[in-house]
Amino acid sequence: MTQPHPTDPHALLSAAACVLFDFDGPMCRLFAGHPAEGVAQRLSVRLAALGRDPAKVAASVRDADPLGVLQAVRKHYPHDRALMAELDEQLTEEEIVAAGRATPTPGAAELIRALEAAGTRLAVTTNNSPAAVTSYLARDGLGPCFDGHIHGRRPDPALLKPDPDCLHRALESTGVAAADALMIGDSAADWVAASKAGVAFLGYAESAEKGRKLRDAGAEVSVSTLEGLVRVVDSLR
């Protein structure tokens, strides 16, 4: 029988042989200097240039979310792989630009380095492009901490979280069992993906609204800052 996961941050980190980080949120604010609204708008312009109906797609997208545009395009044009490939390529280019201007999440780099020093394996599990993550990690000198375990968006938007695809790939690449892994994420989709994969979950909610959304989704454990987790990891060494 599957054992229940611990229900406090200290116990979660103590039990984790591998920590899976979501990217946009727990590691950085990806679109802080390259706004997501503009990215979504440019994707819509490309749709129109390719002879598709951006208004039909926009009706299915909430909060001008670039990833939502990809998901909506798949919904309305499910068999147009060439269209999906073009939009994914453009979004990847936009995300790489954003990665160069992203604002680091306070405490994230320190937590990553503390976990590495403690011998914890690390991976990134994200809906963003692997190229953008790699670019950001290189910018901040964090690439070696992850040893190439960057698991991001695949061509099929159906595999975006809450589908656990990227988590399954991370577990396979690190060789860590789901029961020995912990995901740090900031969205309901992260929580659902972790639950489907059988991975413990620690929510990062820097605002009361995000905390409420995580609780409503079912996440039992969350923190409003990562700095305290650094002290927890240091105490485990």
**Tens digits of residue pLDDT in 32-44:** 999 999 999 999 9
Measured CA to CA, the distance from residue 6 to residue 15 in angstroms comes to 8
pLDDT at 62 over 80: no
Q: What is the mean pLDDT of residues 52-68?
A: 83
6 confidence band (pLDDT: 50, 70, 90)? low
Q: What is the pLDDT of residue 161?
A: 97
Q: What is the pLDDT of residue 233?
A: 92
Q: What is the pLDDT of residue 1?
A: 39
pLDDT at 89 over 80: yes
Give the other-Cβ count within 10 Å of 95's Cβ: 29
Measured CA to CA, the distance from residue 148 to residue 74 in angstroms comes to 29
pLDDT at 173 over 70: yes
pTM (whole model) above 0.85: yes
Is the distance from CB of 54 to CB of 47 less than 8 angstroms? Answer: yes
What CATH number was assigned to the domain covering residues 9-29+103-236?
3.40.50.1000
Is the distance from CB of 203 to CB of 214 less than 8 angstroms? Answer: yes
Q: How far lies 49's CA from each of 42, 68, 69, 86, 178, in Å?
A: 10, 19, 15, 12, 44
Reduce the DSSP state of residue 125 to 3 states and report it: strand
Q: What is the pLDDT of residue 123?
A: 98
Q: Where are the domains of the chain?
A: 9-29+103-236, 36-101
